[in-house]
Structure 1
Amino acid sequence: MGRLPALDIVRGVAVLWMTLFHFAFDLNHFGFIHQNFYHAPVWTGQRTCILSLFLLCAGFGQAIAVHAGQSWSRFWRRWLQIAGCAVAVSVGSALMFPNSWIYFGVLHGMAVMLIVCRMTASWGAWLWLAGLLANGAGFFSAELHALLTYSETWNANALNWIGLISHKPITEDYVPLLPWLGMMWWGMAFGQLVLNRGWMDQLPAPGTNAAIQALSWMGRWSLSWYMLHQPLLIGSLMLVVALR
């Protein structure tokens, strides 16, 4: 089974939206605009939507991979690329934001979630319930945290990647398993549903529209785009600041 153009296009939409979001964030960081990206709903809501799209696509992609009989060795090759990029993000963020560096952001979370998703692919329709429980646990994380033994330990960096916390850690990007694993599980569940019902064959061809083709290309190269877009945006703005 080859690539699914529709999935690439949806992922491309997420990539484009993410790029615009990060450009606004960078403008704010360099003082061109003044927005509260950490608390204002207009920005936190966009982050939630963008991240949800990425994780739904990742889960859907895993459903396709499992259905096509992807070997574990091939899975691990792709996984190592994501994990390696996660390490690079940590190093880069530590240089730019030493007091709020990224130790468990979107790529770190995806690296762990992909393993969980792959290992639970046989759950079938139960993935919908698993996703609901994961999202619920994330939504009520503070209440669940209060019930845990040694509750403050769960707020420490060694365990807060799970998501059972009473307050968010100080970091530029934080994507814990709860609730975000739920989105990837739902993506896999939807992908399995599409495959089992034969709906994939009924999807229309993407056409030759330039914008659609551009989105599809961005979706195919989403990891490379993710790693390159911020250095290019930040570097360009640093040059503008230096010249003005």
Structure 2
Amino acid sequence: MAVHQGRYPELDACRGIAIVMMIIFHFFVDLVFLGIPGPDPFAGFLRGFGLCTAILFVGIAGVSANIKISKTPDLSDQILSFFRRGVFLLLIGFGITLVTWWILNGHGFVVFGILHLIGVSLILAPFLHRLGYYGIVCAAILLLISYSGILPSGPLWMAWSGMYPTGFYSVDYTPLIPWLSVFLIGLSLGNYFYSKNSSGYLNHFHDSVWMTTFSYLGKKSLLIYLIHQPILITLLILLSGKSIV
């Protein structure tokens, strides 16, 4: 069977859907940030909506990582490629940390957000991939550790692990425990659905308007991620007359 060399529109479309969900969720977060009346994004349906958005992003990253690994047989090439991409995302993540620290006056800034998580996950991906379906077991263990409450509190610099100081708060917090489990599940799903380098799923929908639109957004997901908040906040300030200060 020939190796599929192109992109998978259904994965780009899922990433595009996640981007739209993220913009919707952050709209309600920004209402709170600017003191504009609106529903609480950190409770009820909107909280679940935000969690589903993050799960979709990280899970797709795991599926995509598996596909790339399957097309790069040499381990050293895998390590170098994923290290470069992971460090790139980490640098952007650290930039977001600095910007949010400045804007939020050091309170609730992004310590270890979704870009940090995906960056570290990608660096680890060539090694995690070798777990095979045991990755599901590791994911279950991470979830068990997280939700059992056995993780102790820790200093702020350990927040990446899932241990954080008492009273800790961050507007975007996705630590390795439990969130690496989502990436591991994505790797396993990618191995299951794309192990034969197939031409992709939902082929009969690839030319549909919704698939084309969401696929395009998915291809531009990082750019949209970086610019959507400044645009949202600027529009809300102009429309409401509110101020960040």
For the aligned pair, the TM-score class normalised by the smaller chain equals 0.7 to 0.9
Runs of 5+ consecutive residues of structure 2 not aligned to the other structure: none
Counterpart amino acid of 1:208? D
Note if 1:60 corresponds to 2:63.
Answer: yes
Matched residue pairs, number?
234
Match of 2:139 in 1: 131
Q: What SS does structure 1 have at the residue aligned with 2:64?
A: helix
The structural deviation recorded for 1:155 is 2.5
Counterpart amino acid of 2:144? G
Query: C-alpha offsets along residues 20-60 of structure 1, whole Å, 9 cap, x if unaligned?
Result: 1111221232233233333x122221121111000110000
TM-score normalised according to structure 1 size: 0.87
The structural deviation recorded for 1:201 is 4.7
Paired with 2:128 and 2:167, the residues of 1 have a C-alpha distance of 28
Note if 1:36 corresponds to 2:43.
Answer: no
Paired with 1:201 and 1:239, the residues of 2 have a C-alpha distance of 44
The structural deviation recorded for 1:87 is 1.6
Paired with 2:60 and 2:39, the residues of 1 have a C-alpha distance of 29
Paired with 2:200 and 2:21, the residues of 1 have a C-alpha distance of 28
Paired with 1:201 and 1:35, the residues of 2 have a C-alpha distance of 39
Match of 1:17 in 2: 21
Q: What SS does structure 2 have at the residue aligned with 1:19?
A: helix
The structural deviation recorded for 1:138 is 1.7
TM-score normalised according to structure 2 size: 0.86
Runs of 5+ consecutive residues of structure 1 not aligned to the other structure: 146-150
Distance 1:243 1:158, change over 3 A: closer
Match of 1:92 in 2: 99
Paired with 2:83 and 2:124, the residues of 1 have a C-alpha distance of 13
Is the CA contact (8 Å cut-off) linking 2:28 and 2:41 kept in structure 1? no
Is the CA contact (8 Å cut-off) linking 1:135 and 1:183 kept in structure 2? no
Counterpart amino acid of 2:99? G
The structural deviation recorded for 1:101 is 1.0
The structural deviation recorded for 1:187 is 0.3
The structural deviation recorded for 1:105 is 1.0
Superposition misfits of 4+ residues, deviation over 6 angstroms: none
Paired with 2:138 and 2:221, the residues of 1 have a C-alpha distance of 27
Counterpart amino acid of 1:238? I
Is the CA contact (8 Å cut-off) linking 1:60 and 1:191 kept in structure 2? yes
The structural deviation recorded for 1:116 is 2.2
Q: Which moved more, 1:3-12 or 1:165-174?
A: 165-174
Matched residues, percent identical?
25
Q: What SS does structure 1 have at the residue aligned with 2:23?
A: helix
